[in-house]
A and B are shown apart, each in its own frame.
Chain A
Amino acid sequence: MTDRLPAIVERVPGGAILVTSLDALMNWSRSNSLWPLAFGTKCCAIEMLMATGAPHQDMSRFGAEVARQSPRQADFMVVAGAIVKKMAPRMRMLYEQMAEPRYVMATGSCAISGGPFMYNSYTIVRGVDEIVPVDVYVPGCPPRPEAFFWGLLALQRLIKQGETIGRPGIRRKPVLAALPQGITIEDIREEVRRVLEEENVVDVAHEAHAKIWTERVKQWMAKHLYKP
């Protein structure tokens, strides 16, 4: 219903403003009642899913209390824990079962880049962004619950600024919701360029491997993902 509503409302005189207000209302209500999918494989699950639901750090303050076990009922997937090749197709299946608009938060260094298991492990997937598109990255090993809430608030800002009910799940503009005060994207780009050129910390072999790696993950998923 919500995707037909803008077309109906816009025909009413003054309706365009109403759509924007409806956007704001829908975004506000969506972001304040996110339902996480409890998908924890390892240690991060204790911190990110269980401890944050617990009394001392209470996730329900932010509206994200209802952690559903079924992806059909969940809004966003908290990837808490390392993903290995055996688990990767199942995780993709869970992601595809979630209904739009859906978000993914990669918590913990295992989910961001493979973490402590990045080198010399024969099964680890180095970063879940090879498998699902990630919206928020929360670094740490495991991240503190406060860091997780920073990520959750960033996700809420992402939704409020970027979503539209006209086309849910597609953001109108890229949102940098989590930059600290006074820092712009240009500052970050400049610093990365300076570090690369002056301190020369890029491992060329690593970069070359990264390109092959992405291709191999795609092949692996194509082979093992169950298509009904």
Chain B
Amino acid sequence: MDGQALVQAVIGLGLGARNREKVDRPALEVSPENLPALAKRLRQDPALAFDMLLDHTAIDWLAEGVFELVYNLYSTVHGHHLMVTTRVPRGSPVVPTVSDIWEIAQWQEREVFDLFGVQYDGHPDLRRLFLEDDWPGFPLRKDYTDEDMLRLPK
């Protein structure tokens, strides 16, 4: 399906999806509560058939006080891409997991938990991935300070 038609089709499903501006591919925004229902529909609907979650990551918008979680989906059946984003507040970043829909999400979500501190509700095994279990803080946040990190001298 073509980019714009795809976005319109998914918005037309009535699951709370909105267009997301300023992305170079079809992108939607959805609220965290509607995310599992939308994700399941995107996987199972034969016209959409997004069977691969290529990538899941997070972006820290410090000025707006949100984490934006990005899901890059791809369908090997139809060959179309879709980016689904959702915003959670930085103070209490809890979002439902999609690891029951795409298995790789289990570890991609662990990586985001490790580096940003976003907690996934219903995740089977939420542990830190790259850093030690007792590492203080979440490094990829914009307000992360670390005395060991050496800054480039001006």
| Residues of A that sit less than 8 Å from B by CB | 85-86, 118-123, 126, 203, 205-206, 209, 212-213, 216, 224
**A209 pairs with B150, CB closer than 8 A:** yes
Q: Which residue of A lies closest to B154 (CB)?
A: A203
Stretch at the interface among B26-34, B52-60, B141-149: B141-149
| B138 → chain A closest CB, angstroms | 11
Q: List the 5 closest pairs (A to B, CB-CB), nearest first.
A: A119-B152, A203-B153, A122-B139, A122-B149, A122-B146
Tally A-B pairs: CB < 8 A. 31
Q: Could you write out 7 A-B pairs with CB less than 8 Å apart?
A: A122-B144, A122-B148, A126-B150, A203-B153, A205-B153, A206-B150, A216-B148
| B150 → chain A closest CB, angstroms | 5
Per-residue CB proximity of B93-134 to A under 8 Å, as 1/0?
000000000000000000000000000000000000011100
Q: Which residue of B lies closest to A217 (CB)?
A: B148
B-chain residues with CB within 8 Å of residue A213 when the two chains form the complex: 148, 150
Complex formed: what's the CA distance from A206 to B150 in Å? 8
| B153 → chain A closest CB, angstroms | 5
A-chain residues with CB within 8 Å of residue B150 when the two chains form the complex: 118-120, 126, 206, 209, 213
| Residues of B that sit less than 8 Å from A by CB | 130-132, 139, 144, 146-153
B-chain residues with CB within 8 Å of residue A121 when the two chains form the complex: 149
A-chain residues with CB within 8 Å of residue B132 when the two chains form the complex: 85-86, 224
Q: Which residue of B lies closest to A125 (CB)?
A: B148
| B49 → chain A closest CB, angstroms | 39
Complex formed: what's the CA distance from A200 to B137 in Å? 37
A-chain residues with CB within 8 Å of residue B146 when the two chains form the complex: 122
Complex formed: what's the CA distance from A224 to B146 in Å? 18
B-chain residues with CB within 8 Å of residue A212 when the two chains form the complex: 147
The verdict on A120 contacting B148 (CB below 8 Å), with A86-B131, A86-B132 known, is no
B-chain residues with CB within 8 Å of residue A120 when the two chains form the complex: 149-152
A-chain residues with CB within 8 Å of residue B151 when the two chains form the complex: 119-120
Complex formed: what's the CA distance from A120 to B146 in Å? 10
Complex formed: what's the CA distance from A18 to B144 in Å? 63
**A123 pairs with B131, CB closer than 8 A:** yes
B-chain residues with CB within 8 Å of residue A85 when the two chains form the complex: 132
Complex formed: what's the CA distance from A123 to B135 in Å? 10
A-chain residues with CB within 8 Å of residue B130 when the two chains form the complex: 86
Q: Which residue of A lies closest to B132 (CB)?
A: A86
Q: Which residue of B lies closest to A121 (CB)?
A: B149
Complex formed: what's the CA distance from A118 to B150 in Å? 7
**B152 pairs with A216, CB closer than 8 A:** no
Complex formed: what's the CA distance from A213 to B151 in Å? 13
| B130 → chain A closest CB, angstroms | 8
B-chain residues with CB within 8 Å of residue A209 when the two chains form the complex: 150
B-chain residues with CB within 8 Å of residue A86 when the two chains form the complex: 130-132
| A129 → chain B closest CB, angstroms | 16
Complex formed: what's the CA distance from A203 to B150 in Å? 12
Complex formed: what's the CA distance from A120 to B148 in Å? 9
| A224 → chain B closest CB, angstroms | 8
| A217 → chain B closest CB, angstroms | 9
Complex formed: what's the CA distance from A121 to B144 in Å? 12
B-chain residues with CB within 8 Å of residue A224 when the two chains form the complex: 132
**B131 pairs with A206, CB closer than 8 A:** no
Q: Which residue of B lies closest to A86 (CB)?
A: B132
